[in-house]
């Protein structure tokens, strides 16, 4: 009887310890690239231009529904201007894809890799990440909100850190009203699978 009681106590103790120190594994939720959108807006002295760019692939990771990481790959060849039409649109799209800007033939993708995620409120997080554009990786910070299968994030990018200097008053004199501001905005509306 004592032996059986010891065995039951031993099994119970092992089970208790196992369940006490077991954590849930991270869950990776892929980004639905057909239902997600990524919009850009660039500014110049005389106004602004905006458009879209396609997310090629990506995922967010969660532990107990808490965001812990993620990664996004962007198809740079998909740069699309939405506030212009005809030749003006085609010229700007072509120029943005050229070596003056993003050099998409040589650098067809850009990546954003989460490095640190900190909860900042209900469903809200502060993220530190590595952004790679034109083969240059720089740290960036941004905020992201997650609600079930949807996530939204906005990010301000200083293009000159990635050797995108065309029309930058930081590098060229006498641009006057032809100057293009160094920072542009990215806004992501993500749908998760």
Neighbouring CB atoms inside 10 A of 89's CB total: 16
Predicted pLDDT at 181:
95
Q: Residue 10 belongs to what H/E stretch?
A: helix 2-20
Q: Are strands 47-63 and 136-147 parallel, antiparallel or unpaired?
A: unpaired
d(CA 6, CA 28): 42
- State pLDDT tens for residues 135-146: 999 999 999 999
User: Is the pLDDT score of 14 beyond 80?
Assistant: no
d(CA 172, CA 26): 48
As given in the structure block, the two tokens for residue 44 are 């110049």
- State pLDDT tens for residues 38-97: 999 999 999 999 999 999 999 999 999 999 999 999 999 999 999 999 999 999 999 999
Predicted pLDDT at 22:
47
d(CA 8, CA 121): 45
Q: What architecture does CATH give domain 25-191?
A: Beta Barrel (2.40)
The string of DSSP letters for 170-184 reads TT-SS-GGG-EEEEE
Predicted pLDDT at 4:
57
Q: Single out the residue of 142, 73, 83, 139 nearest to residue 108, CA to CA.
A: 73
Give the single-character DSSP code of 192.
Answer: B
Predicted pLDDT at 7:
57
**Residues 6+ away with beta carbon under 8 Å from 147:** 123
pTM, full prediction: 0.85
- State pLDDT tens for residues 108-162: 999 999 999 999 999 999 999 999 999 999 999 999 999 999 999 999 999 999 9
Neighbouring CB atoms inside 10 A of 189's CB total: 13
As given in the structure block, the two tokens for residue 186 are 């990215």
The band of 25, judged by pLDDT with boundaries at 50, 70 and 90, is: confident
């Amino acid at each position: 009887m004592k032996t059986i009681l010891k065995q039951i106590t031993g099994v119970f103790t092992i089970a208790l310890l196992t369940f006490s120190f077991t954590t849930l594994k991270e869950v990776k939720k892929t980004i639905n690239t057909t239902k997600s959108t990524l919009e850009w807006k660039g500014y110049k002295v005389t106004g602004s231009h905006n458009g879209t760019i396609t997310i090629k692939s990506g995922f967010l990771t969660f532990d107990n529904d808490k965001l812990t990481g993620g990664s996004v790959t962007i198809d740079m060849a998909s740069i699309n201007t939405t506030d212009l039409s005809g030749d003006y649109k085609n010229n700007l799209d072509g120029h943005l894809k050229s070596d003056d800007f993003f050099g998409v033939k040589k650098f067809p993708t850009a990546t954003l890799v989460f490095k640190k995620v900190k909860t900042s409120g209900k469903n809200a997080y502060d993220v530190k990440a590595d952004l790679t554009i034109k083969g240059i990786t720089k740290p960036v910070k941004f905020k992201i909100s997650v609600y079930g299968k949807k996530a939204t994030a906005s990010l301000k990018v200083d293009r000159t850190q990635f050797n995108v200097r065309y029309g930058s008053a930081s590098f060229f004199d006498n641009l006057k009203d032809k100057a293009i501001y160094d920072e542009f905005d990215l806004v992501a509306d993500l749908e998760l699978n």
